[in-house]
């Protein structure tokens, strides 16, 4: 039998998981199996990834999000950090969920190699904590501009406790994002 290569920890919102791929280290560095369809099937998580995305943020304090796609193009995501560190956040958007409007966060870093699994029905965003941070993520539905939506990162009703609001860097789109109460999520 093959040894377990992924450790999975539940976050405070149902269906959201921190995933810690096992690292096999020696004097050269390490090897890590960062994704395994068989392991994800055992965990009953999506395995039909259709697109990989990567972002580079030059400045600490860069916020990307909160983003999601409405059904039928809703996306699950598997997020990891290639270089640097982020404060990674999800917000439950599901209308009938007892945790609707609540958030959970985890720090992801290249050093730890941890990942975040974000199911459909959640908005996702992150703040970079180091210069030149690179984030990579898999999605199980292609990008669809007509289904894409954003929610204000600092929506007071959600109350995300971002680590450093003094140096926030936003895109024009994210700066203009509405609060959750003004967004029809479709979930």
> 29 CB contacts (<8 Å, ≥6 apart)?
none
Q: Which candidate in 35, 58, 124, 137 is catalytic?
A: 137
Coil, strand or helix at 167: helix
Q: Is 137 a catalytic residue?
A: yes
The residue to which tokens 């395995």 are assigned: 47
Written as six digits, the tokens of 137 are: 């993520």
As a whole number of angstroms, the distance between CA 158 and CA 32 comes to 35
Helical H runs in 37-156?
37-42
Please confirm, yes or no, whether 124 is among the known catalytic residues: no
| Active-site hit among 35, 58, 67, 124 | 67
List the catalytic residues. Answer: 67, 137
């Amino acid at each position: 039998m093959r040894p377990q290569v992924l450790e999975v920890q539940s976050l405070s919102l149902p269906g959201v998981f921190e995933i810690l791929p096992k690292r096999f280290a020696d004097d050269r560095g390490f090897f890590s199996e960062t994704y395994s369809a068989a392991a994800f099937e055992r965990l009953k998580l999506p395995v039909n990834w259709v697109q990989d995305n990567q972002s580079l943020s030059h400045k600490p304090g860069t916020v990307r999000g909160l983003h999601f796609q409405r059904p039928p193009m809703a996306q699950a995501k598997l997020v990891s950090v290639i270089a640097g560190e982020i404060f990674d956040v999800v917000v439950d958007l599901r209308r009938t969920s007892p945790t609707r409007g609540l958030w959970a966060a985890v720090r992801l870093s290249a050093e730890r190699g941890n990942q975040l699994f974000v199911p459909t029905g959640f908005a996702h965003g992150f703040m970079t904590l180091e210069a030149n941070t690179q984030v990579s993520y898999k999605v199980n539905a292609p990008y669809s501009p007509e289904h894409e939506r954003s929610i204000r990162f600092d929506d007071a009703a959600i109350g995300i406790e971002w680590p450093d609001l003094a140096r926030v860097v936003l895109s024009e789109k994210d700066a203009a994002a509405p609060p959750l109460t003004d967004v029809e999520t479709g979930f």
